[in-house]
Amino acid sequence: MDVDMDERQIQARFVTKLNPPFKAPPSAITIPATVTRLGLSTIVNSLLKAGDPEWETQPFDFLIDGELVRMSLDRFLLAKGISAEKTLEIEYIKAVVPRKEEEPSLHDDWVSAVDGSCSRFILTGCYDGFGRVWKGAGVCSHILEGHTDVITSVSIINPLGDVTLATASKDQTLRLWKMDSEEGVDDVPAKIRPFKILRGHSASVGSVAAQASGSMICSGSWDCRVNLWQTDVSSAEGDSVSIKKRKTKNGTEEPQLEGAPVSTLVGHTQQVSSLVWPELDTIYSASWDHTIRRWDAETGKDVSSIICGRPFNCLSVGGEGSTLVAAGGSTPILRIWDPRKPGTSAPVYQFSSHTSWISACQWHSKSWFHLLSASYDGKVMLWDLRTAWPVSVIESHEDKVLCADWWKEDCVISGGRDSKLRISSGVPVL
């Protein structure tokens, strides 16, 4: 750092909530006012290096009054109306940038759906009609065969306990797959068996979402309905279960259950494109009829709705208190609503760096500020609510990105039309 004496100087103190190896000395130092994020990051790295000779340089992001610094310091202070006279308190966090791009996991066809809610494996759905379970980058452990058409959505039910997988397909059915947890090797079970076929939709099923407890799932379809299904055998709809013999690879015949919907939520007038079931009795559904509806799962009533002028493709609920609704659709703008605000359907945040339709968005499960979005422009963007610009842009896909999710809290997984599942790891969100 060469400090030009002619320029304005600012007294600043660097603070952090990070753990000791990242703690910089709390004394105030004088820095030039023209430095940007890169300059601040260099300063902090040199401070840390002074305390610890084995320090490895890494990028940091900087917060002043809860806002990420995205321009030079003097311009930032001017824009925010912060006095440069007193000592400035700058909080630094690790920059949310993927450190490593893993090997692509090749599929036979376009990757349409991905779920990374279980830290042990990744579940993907593909246009060839197979679901796939990946242990890691490029390591496919299981292929789920059964659907006769494109898999549109996948979900991992109860990822912590007795894991069940759900796949939704354009053949108008959903399938549930059981993992045999007792035979697990390396955290991943050896066998996955088909468990249940859920019939009841009269058109292509577009989305599937599981309740947190794992006892129920909901599915949205092109027939404009949202169906709720039981996932386990011992349930009220047991009498409607018929047992079907199915040939498996090793020649033994296994019983396969068929299920019918427990209840149906009617109200949407067009395709239900995305579903979230964040709480026990609350279901959010996004549809091409330009609405996001909140349903009471118990009564099946439409509680409230958000109306936007565009069809929605994706939906995610999270953020502060797990209440913010993020949704994208056939516009390049990712919008975030706060349903707690009464009497308004205006989004609280709008992120418009994409250039084409948004195909997926997902909140980080732990962070209040971070979410990702995938778009047909071939980019996956990471967003922080504290700044209007994307924190990071992942451009590893050669074609449109159709799905994206977080995995293990520090990886971004995405699949697209280039038939590849991409894993960008080492994203230090927390």
Partner 1 sequence: MGVSAPPKEADRLKTTVDENARISDEFDSEGEASEGSELSEVATEEGGGSSGDEDASTSDGSGLDDDDEGEKGGSGEEAEARGSSSDDEDASATDNDGLDSVEGSGDSDSERSRVFEESDSSEDELLEIQLEMFPWSGTRMSHILDMTLKGRITKKERQDKLDSFLANVDDSKNWRKIYDDYNDEDVELTKEEAKMISRLLNGKAPHAEFDPYAPYVDWFKWDDAIHPLSNAPEPKRRFIPSKWEAKKVFVVKYVRAIRKGLIKFDKPKEEPRFYMLWGDDSGAADKTNHLSYIPAQSQSYQGPVVSISTEVSGEWIASGSTDGTVRIWEVESGRCRKVWQFDEAVHYVAWNPMPELPILAVSVGQDAYLLNTGVGNEETQRKLGELLYVEAAKVSDDSNNPICSWIQDDEHGGIKLRHAKTVSSVEWHRKGDYFSTIMPADILFLLLFSLAIFRLYASAFYVALTCLSRESKSVMIHQLSKKLTQRLPFKLKGIAVSSVFHPTRSIFFAVTKKNVRVYDLLKQKLIKKLETGLREVSSIAIHPGGDNVILGSREGKLCWFDMDLSSKPYKILKSHSKDVTNVAFHRSYPLFASSSDDGTAYVFHGMVYSDLNQNPLIVPLEILRGHTTFNGRGVMDCKFHPRQPWLFTAGADSSIKLYCHN
Tell me which residues touch partner 1 (CB under 8 A): 110, 112, 127, 150, 170-173, 199, 202-204, 222, 269-271, 288-289, 309, 311, 313, 330-331, 356-357, 376, 399-400, 402, 417
Residue 426 main-chain phi, psi, to 5 deg: 75, 40
Please state the closest distance from residue 159 (CB atom) to partner 1, in A.
27
DSSP H helices in 52-160? 73-80
The nearest distance, CB 270 to partner 1, in angstroms, is 5
178 or 268: CB nearest partner 1:
268
Side-by-side strand order, sheet with 370-375: 358-363, 370-375, 380-384, 392-394
Which residues does 141 contact at the CB level (< 8 Å), separation at least 6?
121, 133, 134, 135, 188
β-strands 88-94, 9-15 pairing? parallel
Q: Measured from the CB atom, is 178 or 400 closer to partner 1?
A: 400
Which H or E element spans position 418? none
Cβ proximity to partner 1, 150 vs 381, nearer residue: 150
Kindly tell me which of 176 and 402 has the beta carbon lying closer to partner 1: 402
Distance from C-alpha of 398 to C-alpha of 391, rounded to nearest angstrom? 21
User: Considering the complex, what minimum distance in angstroms separates the CB of residue 395 from partner 1?
Assistant: 17
Shortest reach from residue 396's CB to partner 1, in Å? 17
Shortest distance (Å) from residue 391 CB to partner 1 = 26
* Cα–Cα dist 263/314, whole Å: 23
Alpha-carbon span 399 to 419, nearest angstrom: 9
Residue 84's alpha-carbon distances to 33, 67, 81, 307, in angstroms, are 9, 16, 9, 43
Return the number of the residue (145 or 320) whose C-beta is nearest partner 1: 145
Smallest separation (angstroms) from partner 1 to the CB of 289: 8
What are the structure tokens assigned to 258, written together?
Answer: 């068929």
Nearer of residues 64 and 333 to partner 1, judged by Cβ: 333
